[in-house]
Amino acid sequence: MKPRIGVIALQGGVSEHLQMLHNIGCATVAVRSLQDLDGIDGLIIPGGESTVLIKLLLRWQLITPIKELAGSGIPVWGTCAGSILLSSEITEKSHKVNQPSLELAAVRAERNSFGRQSASFQEELTIKGLDSPFPGIFIRAPLLYPLSSEAEVLCSVDEGAVFIRCGNVWLSSFHPELTDDARIHRMFIKEIVIGSQPGH
C-alpha cells in the first residue's frame, strides 16, 4: 500500500511538497481541516511564515490533533517555518519571542538567523544518512539548537544545526521540496515504512 502523507495546506510551500511526494509514489492529502488528518501515515508542515501558520493552525483547531498524531508515533516533518512551529522554544535575535508553537521537539529555533531575504542562499550540505552532498536552499531560515540529547543533529552548516530529528519529529531549516533531489523525502518515507512494520 502507498504511504499516505498529509501536507498542512493553509499557507506556504505546499504544492512543491505534494508534487515531490507524488513523484516518489506516495498518496497525498492537502490538510486544511481535522478530517484531512484521518488515516495519514506521515505529516509535513511546510515553509511559509511561522507567525501566520500558527494563527491558522489555531483557527482551524489543528494544534491538538497534530500533537496527538505525533504522540502516537506518526512521523512529522517541518521544513523552515514548519521546523519553527515544531520547536519547544522560539527566539529571534537571541530574545524569546511571544509566539506559540506545537512544542514537539526539544529544540530552540532562532528565527531569521541568516539575515534578510536577500541573504537567502544555497549550500551543499553533508547530511547523516546520505552518501553525497545535498543542495540546501535556505530562505530566511532559522538555526536550530538542540536542547536535549534526544535531539539528534543530522546536518550543520558553519553557523550551527539546520537538520535535527527528535525521534519521529524531523526539523529542517532548508527546503528540500524546492530542489529536484528527493532523497530526504525518501528518507522520511522509509522511516514510515519501517515504523509500520509488525513488531517495531
Whether residue 95 lies in the annotated active site: no
DSSP state of 3: -
CB of 81 to ligand GLN, least distance (A): 3
β pairing state of 105-111 and 143-146? antiparallel
How far is the CA of 154 from the CAs of 143, 147, 170, 181, in angstroms? Answer: 13, 15, 10, 17
The residue within the footprint of ligand GLN, chosen from 81, 151, 178, 189 (CB under 6 A), is: 81
For residue 80, indicate whether it is catalytic.
Answer: yes
Three cell numbers written together for 31 = 490538510
Report if residue 47 touches ligand GLN, rule: CB under 6 A. yes
Confirm or reject binding of residue 50 to ligand GLN (CB under 6 A). yes
125-144 residues near ligand GLN, rule: CB under 6 A:
139-140
102 binding ligand GLN? (CB under 6 A): no
Q: Which is nearer to ligand GLN, 48 or 65 (CB)?
A: 48
CB of 38 to ligand GLN, least distance (A): 27
Strand residue runs (E) in the chain: 4-8, 27-31, 42-45, 76-79, 87-92, 95-96, 105-111, 121-125, 134-138, 143-146, 152-157, 160-166, 169-172
Binding interface with ligand GLN (CB under 6 A): 47-50, 80-81, 84, 111-112, 139-140
